[in-house]
Structure 1
Amino acid sequence: MKLLIGIGIIVVIVSITFFHKKTLTNDEMMDKAIFYSEQNLKKDVKMPESLQTRNVSFGGHRTDIDGLTGAVCGEFAAKNGDGKMTTYSYFVQSIEVDKKGELVSMGRVLYPVQNEAVFEALCSKTKKAH
C-alpha cells in the first residue's frame, strides 16, 4: 500500500512539473518578442537565410495580463535578388507577447526612411521593459 501511495505522489509531482508553464522573466519575454519579429522580417526579404540584424532592442511595458507590449527596433541587411548583400536599413515592429512568451499580436514591419534621427525618435537603443 505504501508503495502505491509513493508511486501516486511521484506521478502527481512529475505531472505538475511537466505540465506547468512558468511565467517568463522580462528578459526572456523580450528575447521572444525579438525572435518573433526577426522571423516576421524574414518574410519581407528575398533570401531569408541571409538575414543579418544588429542593434536590435525591445522597448515597451508590462500589459494587464503580465505580458509585454511595445516595439522591436533594429537594423537589418539581407541578400537581394542578385545575391548581393544590401546595406543595413532600419526596421520597427509593434509586438505583444504574453507572460509565457507566446505571441499575442504583431503589427507589420515598418521601414523608416534611412534616417538615423527618425529611428532614434522611434526606438530606444537599450533593451528595457518598464
Structure 2
Amino acid sequence: MTPDALRQLAALAEARRSRDLAVLDALLMEDRRLAAEILEVAAAPARDLAEGGIAIAPIAQQALRFAWLEQRIAALRRRRAELAPRIAQARAAATRSLGKHQALEHLTERAEVAAERRREARSEREAMPPEPRDP
C-alpha cells in the first residue's frame, strides 16, 4: 500500500479511535457520577444527625427516610452494575481502535521509509555516470 493510502486509513482509524474513546469517557463519567451519588446518599444519615434533624423527627418518619435512602442506594448500585458490562465493552473497543490506529501509523512510517529508499535507488540507477577523469 502506498503511504497516502495508509494515511487515509490512519485518518479513518483515528476518527474511530476518537469516537470509541469519547463513548468510553462518557460511560466512565456516568459511573463516577453514580458512585458520587451513592456516597452522597449514604452520608445523608450522618448529615441528618449532625444537623440535629434526625432527633426531632418521629421514629416512624426516620425509619421511612432510612428505607428510602437504602432503596435509592440499591437503585444506584443496580444502575452501576448495568453500566459495568457496557464500560468493559467500550474499553475493549477503544483498545482495539487505539491498536489499529497505532499499527496504521507504524505501517505508514515504514511505507514512507520504503518509498524514500525506492526513490533514492531509482535516482542512483538513473544518474548520469561520472565523467572520466584524465590522469
Which TM-score band applies after superposition, normalised by the shorter structure?
0.3 to 0.5
If you compute each CA radius of gyration, which structure gives the higher value, 1 or 2? 2
If the length of structure 2 is used for normalisation, what is the TM-score?
0.33
Higher RCO, 1 vs 2 (CA within 8 Å, ≥6 residues apart): 2
If the length of structure 1 is used for normalisation, what is the TM-score?
0.34
Structure with greater strand share of residues: 1
